[in-house]
């Protein structure tokens, strides 16, 4: 049976029995997209039910109010009541209303997170209900396998926990690491935060089952960290032949991408870790007239240019 008016259902909001009010709210939630002009005239009654925490379905009242304000174009009010709806605001429901409110949530949350990141000494309090909706949105992305979207949102909102989670839970960790590096270098204007991201990438590359020292050192170049690069090269050159070859690969890559100043500091740290002797004693064997041989020490200085 098709209804032509919401007046009868709205009138139930004035009934003394809570069960009738709950019934009315459930019906209004189903028809609000069509009858929101009528329902908006009773918005104060719905708001009162939400504010009454003794009312069993005060969160449902908030959801209905949120949808009414959405249709009225009052998105700030719609957002506030969506927060009051708690888990009844379903981030997994693909509708224009849900998508719009989620976008508003993320925009507001991002603004607050950036403000707090830039002013750590005097942070503003973030509504835990707002964070809860954003967290559920992150989880939706991860559950749907939308790891790149989750990573992008994590960077926008300065959520390094989600940043790492989106990489670790991906079925292509290496691809996600490369994507994260490219996004960080291309989109992050804040140098301080970009440094934080690159530091996290260094640890992620280091903690792989087979550490990716090549890409790790690329991050270290942008971090201007010659000491750690030198430590990596020293470690690799002291291990297997394959590791030594990797050290050469890193050195060649640095020659192509790093500045001469950076290369000089890497070399300086390598020399400090394994000093090159100032002179080398060479004792060649010189044959004598009786067929025997003797040694005569020759002192030479190694060519620093060869380093």
Task: State which residues form the domain around 255.
Answer: 212-274
Residue 239: per-residue pLDDT: 87
Residue 18: per-residue pLDDT: 94
Based on the structure, what is the number of domains in the chain?
A: 3
Which of residues 85, 108, 142 is at a domain's end? 85
Would you write out the chain's pLDDT as a tens digit for each of its 307 residues? Answer: 577 899 999 999 999 999 999 999 999 999 999 999 999 999 999 999 999 999 999 999 999 999 999 999 999 999 999 999 999 999 988 899 999 999 999 999 999 999 999 888 888 999 999 999 999 999 999 999 999 999 999 999 999 999 999 999 999 999 999 999 999 999 999 999 999 999 999 999 999 999 999 999 999 999 999 999 999 999 998 888 988 999 999 999 999 889 999 999 999 998 887 655 544 443 444 555 555 545 444 343 443 334 4
CA distance 63 to 205: 44
220, HSE (Cβ side, Cα atoms, 13 Å):
28
CA distance 126 to 248: 49
Neighbouring CB atoms inside 10 A of 266's CB total 25
CA 82 centroid distance within chain: 25
- Pair 201, 246 in one domain: no
- Pair 183, 166 in one domain: yes
Residue 101: per-residue pLDDT: 96
- Pair 195, 239 in one domain: no
pTM: 0.79
Token pair of 270 as six digits: 């390598």
- Pair 260, 173 in one domain: no
For residue 125, being part of any structural domain is answered with: yes
Q: If you write DSSP's letter for every residue of 160-224 in order, what string do you get?
A: HHHHHHHHHTSS-HHHHHHHHHHHHHHH---HHHHHHHHHHHHHHHHTSSS--HHHHHHHHHHTT
For residue 166, being part of any structural domain is answered with: yes
For residue 116, being part of any structural domain is answered with: yes
For residue 306, being part of any structural domain is answered with: no
**How far is the CA of 15 from the CAs of 30, 61, 254, in angstroms?**
20, 15, 77
Neighbouring CB atoms inside 10 A of 235's CB total 12
Residue 8: per-residue pLDDT: 93
- Pair 102, 196 in one domain: yes
Candidates 177, 181, 182; CA nearest to 212 is 177
Q: What angle do CA 235, 301, 253 make, to 5 degrees?
A: 35
Residue 3: per-residue pLDDT: 79
CA distance 223 to 265: 13
Residue 121: per-residue pLDDT: 86
Candidates 143, 83, 73; CA nearest to 108 is 83
Please say whether the beta carbons of 168 and 200 come within 8 A: no
- Pair 4, 63 in one domain: yes
**How far is the CA of 288 from the CAs of 135, 282, 284, 293, 299, in angstroms?**
86, 18, 13, 5, 21
Candidates 263, 274, 268, 177; CA nearest to 221 is 263
Residue 275: per-residue pLDDT: 57
Please say whether the beta carbons of 101 and 89 come within 8 A: yes
Count of residues for the chain?
Answer: 307
Which of residues 205, 220, 242 is at a domain's end? 205
- Pair 125, 175 in one domain: yes
Task: Tally DSSP H helices, then E strands, for the chain.
Answer: 15, 4
For residue 106, being part of any structural domain is answered with: yes
Please say whether the beta carbons of 113 and 159 come within 8 A: yes
For residue 267, being part of any structural domain is answered with: yes
- Pair 239, 194 in one domain: no
For residue 293, being part of any structural domain is answered with: no
Token pair of 243 as six digits: 């590791």
- Pair 179, 142 in one domain: yes
- Pair 129, 201 in one domain: yes
For residue 281, being part of any structural domain is answered with: no
**How far is the CA of 55 from the CAs of 8, 20, 61, 78, 176, in angstroms?**
21, 12, 10, 21, 47
Which of residues 178, 205, 232 is at a domain's end? 205
Residue 291: per-residue pLDDT: 54
């Amino acid at each position: 049976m098709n209804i032509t008016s919401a007046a009868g259902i709205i009138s139930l909001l004035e009934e003394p029995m809570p069960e009738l009010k709950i019934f009315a709210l459930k019906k209004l939630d189903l028809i609000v997209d069509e009858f929101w002009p009528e329902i908006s005239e009773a918005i104060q009654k719905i708001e009162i039910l939400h504010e009454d925490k003794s009312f069993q379905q005060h969160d449902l009242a908030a959801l209905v109010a949120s949808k009414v304000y959405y249709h009225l174009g009052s998105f700030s009010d719609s957002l506030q009541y969506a927060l009051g709806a708690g888990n009844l605001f379903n981030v997994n429901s693909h509708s224009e209303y849900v998508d719009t409110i989620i976008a508003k949530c993320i925009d507001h949350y991002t603004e607050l997170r950036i403000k707090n990141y830039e002013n750590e000494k005097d942070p503003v309090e973030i509504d835990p209900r707002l964070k809860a909706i954003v967290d559920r949105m992150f989880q939706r992305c991860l559950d749907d396998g939308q790891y790149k979207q989750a990573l992008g949102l994590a960077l926008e909102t300065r959520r390094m926990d989600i940043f790492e989670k989106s990489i670790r839970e991906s079925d292509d960790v290496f691809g996600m690491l490369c994507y994260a590096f490219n996004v960080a270098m291309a989109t992050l204007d804040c140098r301080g935060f970009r440094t934080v991201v690159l530091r996290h990438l260094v640890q992620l590359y280091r903690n792989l089952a087979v550490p990716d020292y090549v890409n790790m050192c690329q991050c270290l170049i942008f971090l201007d960290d010659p000491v750690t690069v030198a430590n990596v090269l020293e470690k690799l050159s002291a291990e297997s032949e394959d590791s030594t070859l990797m050290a050469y690969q890193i050195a060649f890559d640095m020659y192509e991408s790093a500045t001469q100043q950076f290369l000089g500091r890497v070399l300086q740290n390598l020399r400090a870790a394994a000093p090159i002797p100032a002179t080398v004693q060479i004792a060649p064997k010189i044959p004598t007239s009786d067929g025997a041989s003797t040694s005569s020490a020759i002192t030479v200085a190694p060519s620093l240019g060869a380093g």
